[in-house]
Amino acid sequence: MGLTDPRHLLRDLAAPVLGILLRRYRDLPGCEDAVQEALLAAARQWPDQGTPDRPIGWLVRVATRRLTDQVRAETARRLREQLVVSLVPADEQIALAADAERPEDADDSLELLFLCCHPALSTGSQVALTLRAVGGLTTAEIARAFLVPESTMAQRISRAKQTLKQEGVGFGPLTSEERTSRLGAVRQVLHLVFNEGYAASSGTEVVRTDLSDEAIRLTRMLARSVPDDPEVTGLLALMRLTDARRLARTGPNGELVPLDEQDRSQWDRAAIAEGAALVEQALARGAVGPFQVQAAIAALHDEAPSTASTDWRQILGLYDLLLRLTDNPLVSLNRAVALAMVEGPSAGLRALEDLADDPRLSSSHRLDAVRGHLLERAGDHAAAVELFRRAAARTASTAERDYLLVKAAR
């Protein structure tokens, strides 16, 4: 369980403990704060005192005491009866009595995920709240992942919780209509969490397996709950096909290794086989969506024995299809690379000209990095060096910065 590392405690135990408290007390801000304090108490005590026989029960008791203390402070009076009686209206007691029969180790991750993706919240707040409540990350970790000060992220999470409280959002089973209306947001949040884990946008780590593994776990659960949704199946396929390359993405000193330089013998063939089967299963349903197309592109990369033997023409066609499904400048960047592999670097550079004024790329290093790569292939090394250095100065990822500087030095 990694008892000396609070991150592992938060990741493994936050969701089930929070689910228990929310079912009882219906107060997301108070319950989430109480769970965080209980987990920190466990991180301090368990390494010395040993793990309790029933760790979830221990955390629930400690969190309940913390929640009781919070209520006492807010109401300025002592609670002499059980907190559940004073917080929950009488007409909800039957539901709580039934809840008491629910197994302690029941996994509420999906219910929490749909709660965090409430339509009243912005996408950024949905992601932050999901990482905090479901993924168990600390506020500081989430802030580092998204390049904002910890105080800013704390305010964002606090506002998100207060918004849900003001909306009167309860914790419990959603109607089929509510789940359907939130499914798109849930898919998007899971994809963002996976991407941040597989290719950390800041810090010294190339990958953060705590994030990518949690995203895969939750997406697998979601796929089982909505087996007829081809985009959820496509998203799971995309994650498995991408994550299959994880071990090859870093060198012996932790340095970033790009796709065309990776040792493909290190790729996880079982994950590739599963992902490819999921792609076929999703596409067979006929309703093609962006995640399915991205998964199909990933499958072509994974199944090719080398960069040179990759079916770049088919990948280019899939990127053309993807651009018709989604207006994403990163798709255009990737398409330019595929076009360069089919028609030469000059064609790829011409395709990038239209992206120079896209405001969505104005603060990103990626356009400079791709242009540098294509200029290097075209033989314009001086211009490539300048762009690699400029891209290195703009990225917040240490590993990516070092890789770009090495490229420039070569």
Domain ranges for the chain: 1-104, 108-149+159-167+181-226
Quickly state the pLDDT bin for 90 (edges 50, 70, 90): very low
pLDDT on residue 19:
83
Residue 23: both structure tokens together:
């079912």
CA torsion angle 328 333 334 340 (round to 10): 150
The span from the CA of 149 to the CA of 44, in Å, is 26
Where is pLDDT greater, at 273 or 161?
273
Among residues of the chain, what percentage have pLDDT more than 90? 39
Q: Distance between CA atoms of 138 and 72, rounded to whole angstroms?
A: 26
Q: At 250, is the secondary structure helix, strand, or coil?
A: strand
Q: What is the pTM of this model?
A: 0.78
Q: Which two tokens stand for residue 312?
A: 């770049």
pLDDT at position 236 over 60: yes
Residues 291-322 have pLDDT tens digits of: 999 999 999 999 999 999 999 999 999 999 99
**Nearest alpha-carbon partner for 349 in 337, 362, 331:** 337
The one-character DSSP state at 364 is -
Across 275-299, average pLDDT: 94
The residues that bridge with 250 in the sheet, in sequence order, are 256
Residues 192, 369: Cα–Cα separation, whole Å:
21
What's the CA gap between 386 and 154, in Å, rounded? 38
Task: Give me the residues paired with residue 397 across strands.
Answer: 203
Tokens linked to 66: 């913390």
DSSP 178-207: HHHHHHHHHHHHHHHHHHHHHS-SEES-S-
The tens digit of pLDDT for each residue in 42-66 reads 878 888 888 888 888 888 888 888 8
**pLDDT tier at 95, thresholds 50, 70, 90:** very low
pLDDT for position 128: 87
Q: Does residue 223 contact residue 234 with C-beta atoms inside 8 Å?
A: no
Nearest Cα neighbor of 212 from 178, 246, 258, 163 is 246
Q: How far is CA 406 from CA 28, 150, 315, in A?
A: 47, 31, 28
